Amino acid sequence: MRLAALFLAPALLAACQPASTASDGEPVLSYTDAFIMAPIAGRDITMGGIEITVEGGDVRLTGVSSDVATTVETHSMAMVDDRMQMRPVDGWDLKAGDTLKLDRGGDHLMFFGVDEALAAGDTANITFYFDVAGREEPLTLEAEAEVRAQGE
């Protein structure tokens, strides 16, 4: 019986692998177009975006933080009574090969308690936290975001 179990285990593992495995390591995250809109004078709330691509495994975006804001939320847009409204979401699942696009008019990042000194042309960090199956600590992605003027 014990021998049978030993033979069974590798078969199960093989069944769970994608058809072609580029790597048996951790998912690899890359990004482009990271930005934060410079807040409107007198306001400490603004939005931002990024494109994040994951390769080699599945992840779930579960949290975001930045040195220039006290809180960063993940928001989606939805039609409510014929009007587009934003609402906080827990995060997003990304399959290997997926690209998450966060931008104005759709899914986006929302920054609260934003540093009032933040101005167009500055750069600011955004840190993304991802859950990965079988990993205890979240996988992180450190992004350098461009601060854009309103209207850009």
Residue 122: C-alpha distances to residues 47, 71, 82 (Å):
15, 19, 37
Interaction of residue 77 with Cu ion, rule CB under 5 A? no
Min CB(76)–Cu ion separation in Å: 8
Q: 36, 48 in Cβ contact below 8 A?
A: yes
Interaction of residue 44 with Cu ion, rule CB under 5 A? no
* Residues 75-112 as b or e (16 or more Cβ within 10 Å = b): beeeeeeeeeebeeeebbebebeeebebeeeebbbbbe
Min CB(56)–Cu ion separation in Å: 30
Among 28, 77, 86, 120, binds Cu ion (CB under 5 A): 86
| Candidate segments 22-30, 76-84, 85-93, 128-136, binder of Cu ion by CB under 5 A | 85-93
Nearer to Cu ion, 65 or 132 (CB): 65
- Residue numbers at the binding site for Cu ion (CB under 5 A): 75, 86, 110
